[in-house]
Amino acid sequence: MATPHSAHLRNWLLSLPPVEWGIQQLRELLIGSLKCGPIPEHIGFVMDGNRRWARKSKVETVEGHNMGFEALARILEVCYKSGVRVVTIYAFSIENFKRSKYEVDALMDMAKTKLLQLSQHGELLDRYGASVRILGDRSLIRKDVQDQIDLAVDMTKHNEDAVLNVCFPYTGREEITHSVRETVREFSRPPTRPQLKRPFSETHIQRTILSRQLPAVAEEDSASKEPSNATSDAESVSEQDLENSSNLEPPSSQTSHSTSPILKPTTKPQSNLPDPEMINAETLTKNTYTADAPPLDILIRTSGVARLSDFMLWQCHETTEIKFLNCLWPELDLWQFLPVIVEWQWRQKKLAADGTLGSGSLKTA
């Protein structure tokens, strides 16, 4: 374990202008080398370990969060320079509201401060054309924090090249619930334009099967004997009579002398609502917070904890790379991030060579 003296000496050496210049040139070279391969379009981060880093470094907790913000700025620069289009960060969980009021207020104040810092670092986002989007249930947060959110979003709304999604307050289950709720609302309203006929609906399939079976049934009936036909006809007539009798209206006092049956209508009124059989995974994806974002390529969590913590559950699909890094979030830099990207590029090339990756899926900067 490094002593405070050796750590101070290391920081002093790294701060020397020639050393800083050499490290910066090496960083640019490594980032440029990433552009030679496929580039992930969407990366998610669970920023875990700020408090543990503060305890480990024997500094105040707020200093750990400040260093965590500096780590975010470094990673955003690496991502946007290498060509990543969308970065999504887990900033605040809805589960945090289950803590004491004192803790919740402290977290809200901290979030407000971080949003202010994000606004003050607008030059980084403007440099790479990145806009800020806040994903989550904003009805749960205080008015002053909402105002700070609006300020951060408004300052970057003109940027269209990249996106920084800040999940605050957020959980994956709440996002799925929100998507289902919006889908129900959408399919509870009459469509504004005529619906396209579904070529493979259940009713269409049933009718097709019956139409193919009926000729075979007719041939069997014609080949059978007359007594069998008579018996079958008698059975069908008796069943029809029973069915008709069950559909008869009870006779009124004025028409009780009539012998003509009064049949109930058997057809249901046609609904003007959208067909619920048209709901599929794409329908729910369209109503998620990340509807406009590309599929999630990589999900990274720091601090070595191997769990998702209810983050982007819907977006994690069969090809999403999930990485649990043993470094704390303030320690994350290019040197820990680079191997993740290189391994993802290798896997993508392998999938493309095996033919299991669709053409056009590989994107280079």
Helix (H, G, I), strand (E, B) or coil at 83: coil
Q: Is residue 244 part of a domain?
A: no
For the cut 80, the answer to whether the pLDDT of residue 172 exceeds it is yes
For the cut 60, the answer to whether the pLDDT of residue 217 exceeds it is no
Q: What percent of the chain clears pLDDT 90, i.e. is strictly above it? A: 45
The CATH number linked to 72 is 3.40.1180.10
Q: Is residue 321 part of a domain?
A: yes
Mean pLDDT of 257-263: 51
Which one has a higher pLDDT value, 227 or 22? Answer: 22
Q: What is the pLDDT of residue 137?
A: 94
Q: Is residue 195 part of a domain?
A: no
Structural domains counted in the chain: 1
Q: Edge-to-edge strand order for the sheet containing 321-324? A: 130-135, 162-167, 86-90, 42-46, 298-301, 321-324
Q: What is the pLDDT of residue 234?
A: 45
Residues 6+ apart with CB under 8 A from 350: none
For the cut 80, the answer to whether the pLDDT of residue 205 exceeds it is no
SS (H, E, C) the chain: CCCHHHHHHHHHHHCCHHHHHHHHHHHHHHHHHHCCCECCCEEEEECCCHHHHHHHHCCCHHHHHHHHHHHHHHHHHHHHHHCCCEEEEECCEHHHHHCCHHHHHHHHHHHHHHHHHHHHCHHHHHHCCEEEEEECCHHHCCHHHHHHHHHHHHHHCCCCCEEEEEECCECHHHHHHHHHHHHHHHCCCCCCCCCCCCCCCHHHHHHHHHHHHHHHHHHHHHHCCHHHHHHHHHHHHHHHHHHHHHCECCCCCCCCCCCCCCECCCCCCCCCCCCHHHCCHHHHHHCCCCCCCCCCCEEEECCCCCCCCCCCCCCCCCCCEEEECCCCHHHCCHHHHHHHHHHHHHHHHHHHHHCCCCCCCCCEC
Q: Is residue 14 part of a domain?
A: no
Q: What is the pLDDT of residue 242?
A: 43
pLDDT single digits (tens) 262-315: 555 555 555 677 788 888 999 999 999 999 999 999 999 999 999 999 999 999
Which one has a higher pLDDT value, 133 or 360? Answer: 133
Q: What is the pLDDT of residue 2?
A: 55
Give residue 220's pLDDT band: very low, low, confident or very high (50, 70, 90). Answer: low
Q: What is the pLDDT of residue 270?
A: 56
Q: Is residue 107 part of a domain?
A: yes
User: Which range among 195-204, 240-249, 349-358 has the greatest average pLDDT?
Assistant: 349-358
**Which amino acid is residue 264, in one-letter code?**
K
Give residue 207's pLDDT band: very low, low, confident or very high (50, 70, 90). Answer: low
Q: Is residue 255 part of a domain?
A: no
Which one has a higher pLDDT value, 276 or 150? Answer: 150
- With 0-12 / 13-18 / 19 or more C-beta atoms within 10 angstroms meaning exposed / middle / buried, residue 214 is exposed
Q: What is the pLDDT of residue 365?
A: 61
Give the domain extent around 79: 36-189+279-354
pLDDT single digits (tens) 22-40: 877 888 888 888 888 999 9
Q: What is the pLDDT of residue 255?
A: 46
Query: What is the residue-averaged pLDDT of the chain?
Result: 81
Q: Is residue 88 part of a domain?
A: yes
pLDDT single digits (tens) 79-119: 999 999 999 999 999 998 988 888 888 888 888 888 887 77
> Does pTM top 0.85 for this prediction?
no
Q: What is the pLDDT of residue 171?
A: 96
User: Which range among 2-16, 148-162, 272-286, 343-357 has the greatest average pLDDT?
Assistant: 148-162
